[in-house]
């Protein structure tokens, strides 16, 4: 069986160069070996998904933290039964 290591074909499907060696062993030992380029897109997709998951977790954590602060610092509404006076508007120690 021929195991090709390099094949160059022109646009008319004519073989320009063939590099191969003859193999006389079990077919299971002559399997396809993937290199970096063949699995690059799958790895990039996994990396992007992992990055998006991590960003979503950070965003959720930050929103949960900010949500607690916003509830505590919520200003009290003005009492409509009390008149607004100049002292009320200008007093820095008002409640």
Q: Is residue 71 part of a domain?
A: no
| Cα–Cα nearest to 21, from 46, 39, 1 | 1
20-30: pLDDT as tens digits: 888 777 765 65
**Separation of alpha carbons 5 and 20, rounded Å:** 5
Q: Find the domain containing 11 and state its range.
A: 1-25
Give me the percent of the chain exceeding a pLDDT of 90.
25
**Dihedral sign (CA 15, 18, 23, 27):** negative
Whether 83 shows a pLDDT value over 80: the answer reads: yes
Q: Are 23 and 3 in contact (CB under 8 A)?
A: yes
Question: What is the rounded average pLDDT of the residues 57-61?
Answer: 94
Split at pLDDT 50, 70, 90, the class of 54 is very high
Which is it for the CA torsion 56, 60, 62, 63, positive or negative?
positive
Residue 93 included in any domain? no
| Mean of all residue pLDDT scores within the chain | 81
Of residues 1 and 42, the one with the higher pLDDT is 42
- Residue 89, pLDDT score: 81
According to the model, what pLDDT value does residue 76 have? Answer: 74
Quick check: helix, strand or coil at residue 67?
A: helix
When divided into structural domains, the chain yields a total of 1
Task: Flag whether 15 is in a domain.
Answer: yes
Please give the model's pTM, rounded to 2 decimal places: 0.37
């Amino acid at each position: 069986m021929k195991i090709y290591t390099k094949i160059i074909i022109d646009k008319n499907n004519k073989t320009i160069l063939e590099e191969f060696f003859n193999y006389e062993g079990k077919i299971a030992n002559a399997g396809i070996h993937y290199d970096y380029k063949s699995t690059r897109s799958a790895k990039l997709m996994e990396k992007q998904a992992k990055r998006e998951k991590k960003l979503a977790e950070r965003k959720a954590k930050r929103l949960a933290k900010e949500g607690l602060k916003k509830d505590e610092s919520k200003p009290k509404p003005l009492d409509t039964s009390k008149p607004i006076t100049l002292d009320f508007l200008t007093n820095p120690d008002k409640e």
